[in-house]
A and B are shown apart, each in its own frame.
Chain A
């Protein structure tokens, strides 16, 4: 891939990351009430965060070879921030999928409805991780890019 394409993909990844971060707050807020159904919000947020991660994974090998060494040489602290961002992004995707599956299949009808409110926890965790990752991504991209 040329540098221009990589730069464009990196920009799309960054914008999509913020969009999916905001989208993850929607099911997290709706599912505070255990018996609430929010399939559309949960599904769209999960698809968005997965697409963001897929795009990041597509760019990552080139970023690792071309940008990361220079990033660590310029500022090890920001290099470490990039590492944290990657791991938190993975956590956000895993939690979003868990939240979606739980919301699809949890029993919201019985006496265990309150205890079964794991989907809220999963989406709240995913939103928190995605927010941290998005903020770290901005800091890293200000320092160095393709």
Chain B
């Protein structure tokens, strides 16, 4: 029975392989399997964290420009820039933590992540350009 399980796992992890290039130009066949899934989850967590950071930073910056700083954010540091950076980092990290729990059980597709990040970068840039 255990031999069958091991064989099944080996089949799962080595059934598909694609060539991969490195910065040295080497080409090798790398398996797709559990390892790749774990890697993808960690990358997804990074995506969620940075997008949340950019949106939170933009929102807190707009609030600061409008003179409506949140009391909680104001209490972090005397200098608003530092307070907004710390608050956005905490919110981004929490979002990443939640994503690591939620996406573990979801068949997550990374396709939309690239578009979402482009839009988030655009939003951040537009906010800073219009509201210094």
Contact = CB atoms under 8 A, between A and B. Distances in A.
A109 B32 contact: yes
Contacts of B124: 91
B55 to A, nearest CB: 11
B106 interface: no
Provide the main secondary structure of the chain B interface. Answer: helix
B95 interface: no
B128 A102 contact: no
A35 interface: yes
Interface in B9-64: 16-23, 30-32, 36-37, 39-40, 42-43, 46-47, 49-50, 53-54, 57, 61
A83 to B, nearest CB: 4
A105 B43 contact: yes
B46 A107 contact: no
Contacts of B82: 57, 60
Contacts of B54: 91, 94
A125 B36 CA distance: 26
Most chain B beta-carbon contacts within 10 A, residue among A36, A97, A106? A106
B129 A84 contact: yes
A106 B50 CA distance: 15
Contact of A38 (B23, B42, B43, B79): B23
Tier of interface size on chain A: 35 or more
A28 interface: no
B79 A112 contact: no
A102 B46 contact: yes
Contacts of A105: 39-40, 42-43, 46
Given A38-B23, A57-B82, A102-B47, A115 B117 contact: no
Interface in B106-126: 109-111, 113-114, 117-118, 121, 124-125
Given A110-B16, A118-B110, 15 more contacts: A60-B81, A61-B79, A88-B125, A90-B85, A94-B53, A98-B46, A101-B43, A101-B46, A110-B32, A112-B40, A116-B43, A116-B110, A118-B43, A122-B50, A125-B118
